[in-house]
A and B are shown apart, each in its own frame.
Chain A
Amino acid sequence: MSEIAMTTAQPSQAGLPRDTLVMSARCLRLSARTLDALLTSLLLPVLLMLLFVYLFGGAIQTGTEYVTYVVPGVLLLCAGFGAATTAVSVSSDMNSGIIDRFRAMDISGTALLAGHVAASLVRNAISTALVLGLAFLIGFRPSAGLADWLLAIGILLLFVLAMSWLSAAIGLLAGSAEAANGFTFLVMFLPYPSSAFVPIETMPSWLQGFARHQPVTPMIETIRGALLGTPIGNNAWLSVAWCAAIIAVSVAIAAVVFQRRTA
């Protein structure tokens, strides 16, 4: 071993934006190299799409081509699942030695979690593009203009952002990656009792109340309205309100829990 030379490089002041950027690059790189998780997050949406359209599609009557009806639901389902895997990556970070190094370097918890959320946004952008591409291939013909597309994508992005922050908070709370993984299943099921796959009127009455008022429904209705021209009403505002509330609560929980988990 040669003599250890000390650095002469002078570090600049620490900064949250820079740390977040570095953390995002790190999380993206880790995502790209976690092959099994990557394949799941890319293949699952494709399989779900085919499953709904070809397996269930023939039996479900929605008044339109089922593929047209179901695409917004599949998009949301996949985005929810994709975002929820953030819980697993945050949790495995918290249980690894690197968290101590970050803390001893005075990296804020916000930067670390924001990095995970940013990686989740990128992952989901890719899987969403994949689902949409497939949808077009199998007959999805929306009647949307540019503004409609922007609205649909905006809502989807907001949903991914909200679910990713929520997952990050859950990832901090979960004792282990396995426990965090349980959360992803919960999120997978949330879109089912909504208007995502079947019209709410076809559900038993006790479920209709939940289905109408849970956060996924206004988002589905907004995306569907934007892409297919069905009435949106106040669903867009409701979606934004839901997402904003989820983000606010999750960021607050994350900040508190990160301090406590690491104190």
Chain B
Amino acid sequence: MAIPLAISATDLTKSYRGQQVLCGIDLNVPVGSVFALLGPNGAGKTTTVRILATLTKPSSGTAQVAGHDIINDLRGVRRSISVTGQYAALDDLQTGAENLRMIGRLAGLSTEQSRQRATELLAQFDLTDAADRRVETWSGGMRRRLDIAASLVVQPLVVFLDEPTTGLDPRSRLALWEVIAGLANAGITIFLTTQYLEEADRLADCVALIDGGRIVAEGTPAELKRRVGNSRLDLDLVSDDAFMSAIDRLGARATYSDRAALSISVPTDGSASHVRALLDEIDPGHYLLRQFTVHTATLDDVFLSLTGHVGGQPETEHTNV
């Protein structure tokens, strides 16, 4: 035993009405780290969080959260965690302050302590101005912040954040990233799920890629990116024939191809000599290729090369060579 684990799961499975949504998940999350479960819709992210947070029972498998068994010691787990789901778990008809005070009282704080803690949290999350307005009048970003604030009324050992930024505008997303980074700095173990590769890249110490109820890869963002090469060469072919011939030459090295768009992606180390060699190999006669671009590899590429389909985030940076 080297590093103490905040979460460890062994061979978790879950079936709903005969349909298997988790097919044997193993996870180890060290204390104080930020762990991201990254995957597309329907991959099993929410189910995993619900099982670890004792909101759903697994069909088989075991897990410990903060040292407590999720099946035999439900209470122990619940005392150590907080959960923020995809939908803000607060009362729309109560004000922000009322919601936080209620959570404080339910968590066992006195009326006075609850009032104090609510005021503190509202200030820390930049919500003081809206504190006495009903939550129904708040923006999506404000609600998510309040939701996370509600998770911190008493200090949890492990915070679960299920798609904390889904559906938010870019500015609110950035604000929320700061909040999450702040939690990590405070030493709380964070288990977050996301469809956004950029989000996992930015926040997590360790990322697990989940697809079809299975973990398909796991490692630090840097390790994962190394698996597909530091960069990626995108090719634009002139015709269908050109496309087919390039595919023939590349074989399994092509991590992505789209026949209709006549485009192919190949991993590269990004050096001029390697890119030149690749281009010469694919197109020795210099007439098959319309255009090429080199990108710094993103988790997108990892996802693509491992699962054959894209995660959530559209491409952003393009570096023309």
Q: Which chain A residues have a beta carbon within 8 Å of chain B's beta carbons?
A: 1-7, 9, 11-14, 18-19, 22, 25-26, 29-30, 33-34, 96-107, 262-263
In the bound complex, residues from chain B placing their C-beta under 8 Å from that of A30 are 91, 93-94
Contact A22 B55 (CB under 8 A): no
Q: Which of B11-19, B23-31, B78-86, B271-279 contacts A (4 or more CB under 8 A)?
A: B78-86
Additional A-B contacts beyond A4-B179, A22-B105 (18; CB < 8 A): A1-B125, A1-B126, A2-B124, A3-B124, A6-B152, A7-B153, A9-B113, A11-B109, A11-B154, A12-B109, A29-B94, A30-B93, A33-B94, A34-B93, A104-B55, A104-B83, A105-B103, A262-B55
The CA of A105 and the CA of B53, in the complex, are separated in Å by: 10
Residue B167, interface by CB 8 Å = no
Residue B291, interface by CB 8 Å = no
The CA of A42 and the CA of B103, in the complex, are separated in Å by: 30
Contacts between chains A and B (CB distance < 8 A), count? 110
Across the two chains, which residue of chain B brings its CB closest to A18? B105
Q: A1-B124, A29-B93 are in contact. Are A101 and B105 (CB under 8 A)?
A: no
| Chain B min CB distance to A116 (Å) | 13
In the bound complex, residues from chain B placing their C-beta under 8 Å from that of A14 are 108
Contact B124 A4 (CB under 8 A): yes
Contact B83 A7 (CB under 8 A): no
Q: CB within 8 A of A97: which of B88, B93, B183?
A: B88
Interface flags, B137-161, vs A, CB<8A=1, else 0: 0000000000000101111000000
| Chain B min CB distance to A33 (Å) | 4
Q: CB within 8 A of A100: which of B55, B98, B153, B175?
A: B55
In the bound complex, residues from chain B placing their C-beta under 8 Å from that of A102 are 106
The CA of A222 and the CA of B223, in the complex, are separated in Å by: 78
Q: CB within 8 A of B179: which of A1, A19, A105?
A: A1
The CA of A216 and the CA of B88, in the complex, are separated in Å by: 42
| Chain A min CB distance to B155 (Å) | 5
Residue B261, interface by CB 8 Å = no
Contact B154 A26 (CB under 8 A): no
Count of chain B residues near A, Cβ 8 A? 51
The CA of A43 and the CA of B58, in the complex, are separated in Å by: 49
Contact B153 A2 (CB under 8 A): no
Residue B222, interface by CB 8 Å = no
Contact B150 A104 (CB under 8 A): no
Interface flags, B52-76, vs A, CB<8A=1, else 0: 0111110000000000000000110
Across the two chains, which residue of chain A brings its CB closest to B134? A33
Q: CB within 8 A of A4: which of B78, B102, B175, B186?
A: B186
The CA of A107 and the CA of B155, in the complex, are separated in Å by: 17
- Shortest 4 CB-CB distances between A and B: which pairs? A11-B108, A97-B89, A101-B89, A97-B87
In the bound complex, residues from chain A placing their C-beta under 8 Å from that of B153 are 7
| Chain A min CB distance to B51 (Å) | 12
The CA of A29 and the CA of B54, in the complex, are separated in Å by: 29
Q: CB within 8 A of A26: which of B94, B182, B183?
A: B94
In the bound complex, residues from chain A placing their C-beta under 8 Å from that of B110 are 12
The CA of A184 and the CA of B79, in the complex, are separated in Å by: 37
In the bound complex, residues from chain B placing their C-beta under 8 Å from that of A33 are 93-94, 134
Contact A29 B98 (CB under 8 A): yes
The CA of A227 and the CA of B61, in the complex, are separated in Å by: 64
Residue B132, interface by CB 8 Å = no
In the bound complex, residues from chain A placing their C-beta under 8 Å from that of B55 are 100, 103-104, 262
| Chain A min CB distance to B74 (Å) | 8
Contact A12 B78 (CB under 8 A): no
In the bound complex, residues from chain A placing their C-beta under 8 Å from that of B103 are 101, 105
| Chain A min CB distance to B77 (Å) | 9
Contact B179 A100 (CB under 8 A): no
Residue B248, interface by CB 8 Å = no
Contact A100 B108 (CB under 8 A): no
Across the two chains, which residue of chain A brings its CB closest to B148? A4
In the bound complex, residues from chain A placing their C-beta under 8 Å from that of B87 are 96-97
| Chain B min CB distance to A99 (Å) | 8
Contact A107 B182 (CB under 8 A): no
Residue B90, interface by CB 8 Å = yes
| Chain B min CB distance to A30 (Å) | 5
Across the two chains, which residue of chain A brings its CB closest to B101? A22
Residue B117, interface by CB 8 Å = yes
The CA of A26 and the CA of B101, in the complex, are separated in Å by: 11
Q: CB within 8 A of B150: which of A101, A103, A107, A263?
A: A101
The CA of A105 and the CA of B103, in the complex, are separated in Å by: 9
Contact B154 A9 (CB under 8 A): yes
The CA of A147 and the CA of B175, in the complex, are separated in Å by: 63
Interface flags, B286-303, vs A, CB<8A=1, else 0: 000000000000000000
In the bound complex, residues from chain B placing their C-beta under 8 Å from that of A19 are 106
The CA of A100 and the CA of B152, in the complex, are separated in Å by: 16
The CA of A30 and the CA of B135, in the complex, are separated in Å by: 12
Q: CB within 8 A of A6: which of B57, B98, B186?
A: B186
